[in-house]
Amino acid sequence: MPPDRRKYRRSLGERRYRKLFIIATEGVKTEPQYFAILNDHSSVIHLDCIKSKHHSSPLQVMKRMEDRLRQENLKNSDEAWLVVDKDQWTDEQLAQLYTWSQDADNYGFALSNPKFEYWLLLHFEDGAKISSLNQCSIRLKKHLPDYNNKHLDSRKITSDMIKNAIRRAKVRDNPPCEDWPRTFGSTTVYKLIESILSERP
């Protein structure tokens, strides 16, 4: 965490200059690379992406978040989000993450079904008729041929594409799910992205 963010305070209050989003992800590479695109080091927000050295279960993602929140002074204006994939995880496992997200108004839980790559796919197309993990990857590679070993080229993602992904995700999440998307080919990552973008000028 940059030391200047801890020390800087507005003269008219105690809030930091930059709103903090703490994001704990299941993925090791793709999610941190994606959220780095949205990080605003010079303006009003700061994204602190907690990642693991290895793929981890949803409960391990939650534990990393809990560990961070014990160290971080999270203000009411800041937000903490868990971001995971549906994959093979059970409803019982995911329910624990959803329950955690209900503990505070500034906690959130975002899930992609089947995986985060589906959220990326929505930057390029409507994501219809996805019926398998492999199909999701194949469709994404049509738009990102260089997407190998989960390396995401940030130059291929524009602000307009992000807005289109939000719009398409909302179409798929209709009516909006209360906890997490059960339907294959849907994601609630758009809720987190909307919250991040709402803080920008």
87 in the Ramachandran plot: left (φ > 0), alpha (ψ -120 to 50) or beta? Answer: left
pLDDT in tens, 138-170: 999 999 998 876 788 888 999 999 999 999 999
Across the strands, what pairs with 25?
83
50, 21 Cβ separation under 8 angstroms: no
**8-state DSSP, 154:** G
Average pLDDT, the chain: 87
- Helices 30-38, 189-198: inter-axial angle, 10-degree rounding: 20
pLDDT of residue 5: 39
**φ, ψ dihedrals at 187, nearest 5°:** -160, 150
Rounded Cα distance between 95 and 118, Å, is 21
pLDDT digits over 34-68, tens only?
A: 999 998 766 678 889 887 777 678 999 999 999 99
3-state SS class at 67: helix
Better-scored residue on pLDDT, 134 or 52: 134
Alpha helices (H) in the chain, listed in sequence order? 3-7, 30-38, 58-71, 91-101, 116-121, 133-143, 159-172, 189-198
Lowest mean pLDDT among 15-29, 129-143, 187-201: 15-29
Chain segment 17-36, per-residue pLDDT in tens: 689 999 999 888 899 999 99
pLDDT of residue 14: 46
